[in-house]
Amino acid sequence: MLRTTAGHLPLVIATLLLFGISLSSCATGGSKNTSSPPCAQPRPAPGKLSLAGLAYGPSHAGQDPTAGVFPSDEEIQADLPTLASLTHYIRIYNATGPARAIIQAAGANDVCVALGISLGRDPAANAAEMLAGERLASQPAVHALIVGNEVLLRGDLSEEQLRAAIEQVRARLGRAVPLTTAEPPEQWLQHPDLAKVVDFITVHIYPFWQGIAINKAIDFLDQEYQRIAKAFPGKRIVIGETGWPSAGPPNGAAVPSDENQARYLKAFIDWAQVHRVQYFYFDAFDEGWKVHEAGVGTHWGLYQQDGQVKPALGELLPAAAVLTLKVRSYRDIYVGGLENGFSLGAATSDHQGHWLTEQQGVLLLTYPAHQQWGGMFIMAGQPAPPGHRSSLDLSGYKSLLVDLRAGKDGQCVALGIKDRTQPDDGSEIRVQRCLRTQWSTVVLPLSTFTNVDLARVYVVFEVIFQGPSSATVEVRNIRYSPS
Same fold, 11-329 and 334-481: no
Is 305 a residue whose pLDDT tops 70? Answer: yes
How far is residue 440's CA from residue 190's CA, in Å, rounded to a whole number?
59
Q: How much is the mean pLDDT over the chain?
A: 91
Give per-residue pLDDT as tens, 287-303.
989 999 999 999 999 99
Give per-residue pLDDT as tens, 231-287.
999 999 999 999 999 999 999 999 999 999 999 999 999 999 999 999 999 999 999
The single-letter code of the amino acid at 126 is N
Give per-residue pLDDT as tens, 32-81.
343 456 799 999 989 999 999 999 999 988 788 987 878 889 899 999 99
What percentage of the chain reaches a pLDDT higher than 70?
Answer: 92
Sketch the domain layout of the chain as residue ranges. Answer: 11-329, 334-481
- Establish how many alpha carbons lie within 13 A of residue 353's alpha carbon, considering only the half-sphere containing its beta carbon: 6
Domain 11-329: state its class. alpha beta
Is 346 a residue whose pLDDT tops 70? Answer: yes
Residues 152-172 have a mean pLDDT of 97
Is 447 a residue whose pLDDT tops 50? Answer: yes
How far is residue 427's CA from residue 405's CA, in Å, rounded to a whole number?
26
Residues 175-181 have a mean pLDDT of 94
| The predicted structure's pLDDT at residue 37 | 63
What topology is assigned to 334-481 in CATH? Jelly Rolls (2.60.120)
Instruction: Give the 3-state secondary structure of residue 93.
Output: coil
pTM of the model: 0.79
Least confident among 10-19, 201-210, 403-412: 10-19
Is 19 a residue whose pLDDT tops 80? Answer: no
Give per-residue pLDDT as tens, 313-343.
999 999 999 999 999 999 889 988 888 789 9
Please list the alpha-helical segments (H only) found in 185-317.
Answer: 185-190, 217-231, 258-275
Instruction: Give the 3-state secondary structure of residue 167.
Output: helix
| The predicted structure's pLDDT at residue 32 | 39
What sign has the CA pseudo-torsion 58, 62, 65, 71? Answer: negative
Is 15 a residue whose pLDDT tops 60? Answer: no
Residues 26-32 have a mean pLDDT of 39
How far is residue 277's CA from residue 63's CA, in Å, rounded to a whole number?
33
- Establish how many alpha carbons lie within 13 A of residue 171's alpha carbon, considering only the half-sphere containing its beta carbon: 6
How far is residue 109's CA from residue 167's CA, in Å, rounded to a whole number?
31
What CA–CA distances, in Å, run from 43 to 103, 105, 307?
22, 20, 22
